[in-house]
Amino acid sequence: MVAVAVGVAIGRVTGDPGGPPAPADGPTLTRTAPSGPGPTRTVDGVPVGYTRTRAGAIAAAANYAVVLDSPAVLDAARVGPALDQIATDVARADLREQFARAAALIEERLNLDTDQLESSDIAMRSAPLGYRVVEHTPDTATIAVWGTSVFAAAGRQAVGPAWGTTEVGLHWEAGDWRVASLETTSGPVPPEAGSEMGGVVASQINRFEPFWQIPPVKE
């Protein structure tokens, strides 16, 4: 997730600017139905529209993490509209700056340009695999999303899959969950075959609930 792929590379993506947000609008597991936690629509390529529930916050965090780990975040012309849909009013400018720095870093290290990002010779995908509700109220939520991200490009050295946890701070603003902060750390990383760390890693992974166990909308 750039949350993982870029976020792990640059460490903390952004912190909560602090203070309650002024009330705004905003993605979930795309398999949900309209009667579920969301999303209810797509705007500028971003799935938005979540219920003001624990399930809605979980769905929003997962989808936002995926959006923020797609090729769009490496393109200034696309990341701006995406952040307009995702971020709180307070956090938006800081997120723009942080992702601009991350994009420049990735492009420099991988020798990429905007035209190449649209090429079929480049693949950048992520998948959320589990979540943990750190905190939830009707107005705020913090959801830790564990997942993996892969990147491959023709003529570039192969990059192994990245595993990381993105802690998504959300605020309810203008009728939707919006990102107030993002922080990514590496791992848990599944052990390689023959490793004796399986038990340790398993306990770390089991701290996250699978997404098919998202609680019902009515709580």
Full pLDDT tens readout for the chain, 219 residues: 444 555 444 433 334 444 333 333 333 344 434 458 999 999 988 999 999 999 999 999 999 998 888 877 777 788 889 999 999 999 999 999 988 887 787 777 767 665 666 666 777 788 999 999 999 999 999 999 999 988 777 777 666 788 999 999 999 999 999 999 999 899 999 888 778 778 888 899 999 999 876 665 544
What is the distance between the alpha carbons of residues 150 and 1, in angstroms, rounded to a whole number?
9
What is the distance between the alpha carbons of residues 162 and 38, in angstroms, rounded to a whole number?
27
The residues, ordered by sequence, that sit 6+ positions from 117 with a Cβ below 8 Å of its Cβ are 71, 74, 75
- Give a yes or no: residue 92 inside a domain: yes
Domain count, the chain: 1
Query: Which pair of structure tokens corresponds to residue 39?
Result: 């999303």
- Give a yes or no: residue 167 inside a domain: yes
- Give a yes or no: residue 218 inside a domain: no
Q: Which helix (H) or strand (E) element contains residue 172?
A: strand 159-173
Strand partners, 169: 142, 181
- Give a yes or no: residue 112 inside a domain: yes
- Give a yes or no: residue 219 inside a domain: no
Query: What is the domain extent for residue 82?
Result: 5-213
Residue 96 amino acid letter: R
> Could you give the 3-state DSSP secondary structure of residue 79?
helix
Residues in the chain: 219
Query: Which pair of structure tokens corresponds to residue 59?
Result: 């769905």
- Give a yes or no: residue 172 inside a domain: yes
